[in-house]
Structure 1
Amino acid sequence: MKKSIMNSMFVAKQVAVAIAVTVAFSVSNAYAQVQKEVTGKLDGYLGAHLAQGTFSGTVTVTEHGKTIYSRGFGMANYEKQLPNGADVKYRLGSISKSFTAVLVMQLQEQGKLNVQDKVSKCLPDFPNGDKITLHHLLSSTAGLPDFVNFWKGVNTTPATIPDILALVKDKPLEFEPGSKWKYSSTGYVVLAQVIEQVTGKPYEKVLARQILKPLKMQSTGVELSEPVKGLALGYNHDGLDRKPASPIDMSWCNAAGAIYSTPTDMAKFDAGLKGNKLLSDASKNQMFTPVMKGYGYGWVIDSVAGQQRLSHSGAINGFKANFIRLPESGIAITILSNYESQQVNGPISRDVTAIVLGEKYQVPVVHTLTPLSDSQLAAYVGEYQVAPKMSFKVTLQDGQLFAEGPNNDVFQMFPEAEDKFFLKVAPALITFERDAEGKIAKMLMHHGGRTMPAARIN
């Protein structure tokens, strides 16, 4: 009797193990199938943008620290035919602000500063330093003019922090600190000066000691005036042909935008933020709490598909970047591009996130460029009115057609056929209608499933 019971228990255990193995195998297969589908969709989507000239770079996706997608598109150096990939270095642009914010929070934990400190406590001679706090600098609520608006003509030679701040130090505040929000890189250069003051070390040394070395981010650093080995070349492909981006000395970007990294290293940064290796939960909660307009301390805080999203984008000569963290699902998405494509931080980052989360996304259409003669293009030149105080001006310059919007935004129009044009700055089409005499009478802008007509007024 006892032996029979024992045999029954043994059989039951074996059956339970078999069921568990079968379930695990089924779940594993299902996960693999989902991952395969995501990979196929991302490959097709990003490949279309590559073919269109609106993306060149690398996209990496991790889930709970495990890489589930990582692929390079196009070349890191088109002249030498060096491919993009997860270990290629790219300029991060303003994603640098996220790193700087972490440094400030670490120094607060070390008792070397407090985010409620006035700037004058560390920098006694700073204009309006008695009004502005580190909190204001971190959250873009200080009212400081953005130095980027004044660096034209000087940003190709090396600069120090005083050189940068000299562009705005004599300019009045744009609003009372804490009363409004306006994105400004100036605050993060001031924070770099604060960091250097309280630590007695250069910003890049503090970054290496407090973030890069602990996380073993060996391919990340601050690009100043010296060339960085392994850095992708930046390009502009807004026109007909790909061309090198305008030169810039990255010392002008400093703590606001001079960090470079690889997709592999950015995954390490995400992992470091998940635990308490960099910051305590209290510090992270403070950093990730929106102050105004969904902006915290160096991070944009919003939601997507019902879950919190922590992110920041970057844009600097020849490069666009986006770093997206979804703490609830453990997903991190890094999009680093060596094209100045305006679609990277708009449609591409939105659609890549949607693909990863299984949401709807817009499939990019690869358009075929069909050259038109100057006389054909000249037929479209004119002003087109959308509303009484809103119009678009179409101009012809050096054989290229451009449209200027109400906010003085200028974008090139690429002919796909007569009366049909596509854009590279956004997934949009522009078509034209003619009157009974064959003259252009109306312009129609098609974007996001909607059509906006504009009648020609001259």
Structure 2
Amino acid sequence: MQFLFATLFVLGLGALPALAQETAAPDIGQILADRIARDKQGVGIVAGEIAGADITFVSSGKLAGDGAAVDEHSIFEIGSLTKLFTNLLLAQMVLEGRMDLDKPVADYLPRDTELPGFDGQAMTLFDLATHSAGLPPIPPELSLGDPANPYAAYGADNLAAFLAAYELPRAPGDTFQYSNIGIALLGQAISHVAAKPYADLVAERILTPLGMSETTLQPVDEARFASGHDAAGTAVPHWDFDVFAPAGAYRSTAEDMAKFIAAASGAAPSDLKPAFELMLARTRPAGSPNMSIGLGWMILAHPGSEIVWHNGITGGFNSFAGYNSESGEGVVVLANQVTQTGIEDIGFHLLDASLPLAVQPAPRATVEIDRAVLPGYAGEYQLGPEFHLTVTAENGRLFVKASGQDKFEVFPESATRFFYRQVDAQISFETDASGAATGLILHQNGQDIAGRKL
């Protein structure tokens, strides 16, 4: 869950791969070793490759900064990979005739549930599953909670109050917008129809049939539970979930997630095959070129390959799982650090060698500046119709909050230029003669996006 965000400004998807000419077979061991030892962009990473009946694992790094080595049985928070479980449950319920993708969500919830609509048009199950219901990524009040464990205290009553008061800005089905709220609501609907707790359904309908004995809401063995780390390499608390469990709560291992991908891709026989197939039977555009979405799965169309995938990020973990529908090969990558470039590029590269590894960020160092200039940078800056950055100066430190996201501290590399540690992004302030900011420029992904101060 990245907050369930994959990068600071690309909600839930992570950086999308670029085209490249290189097609040599990747050396996964070297890739992982380089990412951790040379680039300092990881604490521990485990990758699993699925080719037919063969599954191989490669790992590098530690469970914690000075702990034991990670392996395929190390337990990681998998964040938004949980959404695949939720959508697989939905597919099963549809096949059983208990739910209909085109029916309003309200049909599958208690009668007194208040849900937003738009000009009389109701959200459907398919709208929720494809992140196109018109719901935002997270409730705004969630960012006011404990940033070290933001979802733990947000329960069903909180979500119900938010939904009752919210007004959809556009018609359901109109536009892709990644939404953890939508998947939390979808999980509630599935649980209501089945008359069972969400976790029981996942265990009975997915984990047990696939033999995923190491996948749970709580780790099966604390000694194998990796410590999560932020972009600076600092250990951070594990995340806990209440009503948002269907969007990001599960913990798993590379061994278990490889079983899931083997079943999803058809590499391993499974009674769940019809449900996995239904997850890809209908799609919608997903907001990026060559990208679409089915029931939970993202689908990247690329010359010579079609990659079916998802990723996840919590406070200290990053995950990727997917398969190449042309070759049938699958990949799982789990990491216990959230780095600036993530590990999604490793997953894409292993599935299609022509998709390049991300260029790793150059090391950046803070410099001493006169902290008295920081209040002059505070304010709200508009970078797009619905995208603002709010800058605050607090006790000699500078923080930036993007629309719908948590705030992050930025660090000075000059008196007017600051950098994030969570992602490879920087901010430059434009100032007047008095030193007060009149605007800023966001530098990310090779783009320079100007924002005027409101």
TM-score (structure 1 length as normaliser): 0.70
Which of the numbers 38, 47, 51 marks the counterpart of 1:48?
38
Match of 1:331 in 2: 329
CA distance in 2, matches of 1:366, 1:237: 14
Q: Where in structure 2 are the equivalents of 1:394-413 lying within 5 Å?
A: none
Judged with a 3 Å threshold, the aligned counterparts in structure 2 of structure 1 residues 332 and 415 are, in CA distance, closer, same or farther, namely farther
Give the distance between the partners of 1:318 and 1:285, measured in 2 at CA. Answer: 32
- The residue aligned with 1:103 is 89
Partner residue of 1:192 out of 187, 212, 216: 187
Higher helix share: 1
Structure 1 unaligned runs (5+)? Answer: 1-33, 433-442
Please state if 1:310 is matched with 2:308.
Answer: yes
The answer to whether the 8 A contact 1:235-1:319 is kept is yes
The answer as to 2:181 corresponding to 1:180 is no
The answer to whether the Cα contact below 8 Å between 1:58 and 1:336 also exists between their aligned partners in 2 is yes
> What TM-score, normalized to structure 2?
0.70
**Equivalent residue, structure 2, for 1:72:** 60
C-alpha spacing 1:416/1:67, structure 2 compared with 1 (3 Å): farther
Change beyond 3 A, Cα 1:341–1:399: farther
Q: Aligned pair count?
A: 402
Q: Which has the higher contact order (CA 8 A, sep 6+)?
A: 2
Question: 2:282 maps to what in 1?
Answer: 289
**Does 1:277 find its partner at 2:278?**
no
The one-letter code matched in structure 2 to 1:306 is: G
Aligned to 2:236: 244
User: Letter of the aligned partner of 1:117 in structure 2?
Assistant: K
Cα shift at 1:299: 1.5
- Whether 1:235 aligns to 2:226 is no
Equivalent position of 2:100 in the other structure: 114
Listed one character per residue, the Cα deviations across residues 329-379 of structure 1 (whole Å, up to 9, x for unaligned) are 2232323232233421xxx4225523663334344366374x64345x889
Q: Which ranges of structure 2 fall in alignment gaps of 5 or more residues?
A: 1-23, 287-291, 430-439
Give yes or no for contact 2:91–2:278 (8 Å, CA) kept in 1.
Answer: no
Deviation string 1:10-61 (CA, Å, 9 cap, x unpaired) is xxxxxxxxxxxxxxxxxxxxxxxx7674432443234334x2xx42332314
The answer to whether the 8 Å contact 2:129/2:182 transfers is yes
What is the CA distance between 1:216 and its match in structure 2? 0.8
Contact 2:391 2:398 in 1 (8 A): yes
The residue type paired with residue 256 of structure 1 is A
> Hey, what's the Cα distance between the residues in 2 that align with 1:453 and 1:189?
33
The one-letter code of the counterpart of 1:113 is: M
SS in 2 for 1:39: helix
Pair 1:320-2:308 in alignment: no
Residue in 2 that maps onto 1:254: 245
Rate the CA distance shift 1:411–1:184 in 2: closer, same or farther, 3 A: closer
Identity of paired residues, percent?
A: 25
Compute the displacement of 1:221 (Å): 1.7
Query: Which residues in structure 2 correspond to 1:92-241 (within 5 Å)?
Result: 92-125=78-111, 126-128=113-115, 131-151=122-142, 152-153=144-145, 155=150, 160=155, 162-174=156-168, 175-223=170-218, 230-238=224-232
Q: Which amino acid aligns with 2:277?
A: K
Q: Which has the larger radius of gyration?
A: 1
Map of 2:437 onto structure 1: none
CA 1:356 to 1:139, structure 2 compared with 1: closer, same or farther past 3 Å?
closer
Matched residue of 1:221: which SS?
coil
Q: After the TM superposition, which of the residue ranges 351-360 and 90-99 deviates more from structure 2?
A: 351-360
In structure 2, give the amino acid aligned to 1:92.
I
After superposition, the C-alpha distances for 1:253-311 in whole angstroms (9 at most, x for unaligned) are 21111111111111000011123625345862553532232222111112245311111
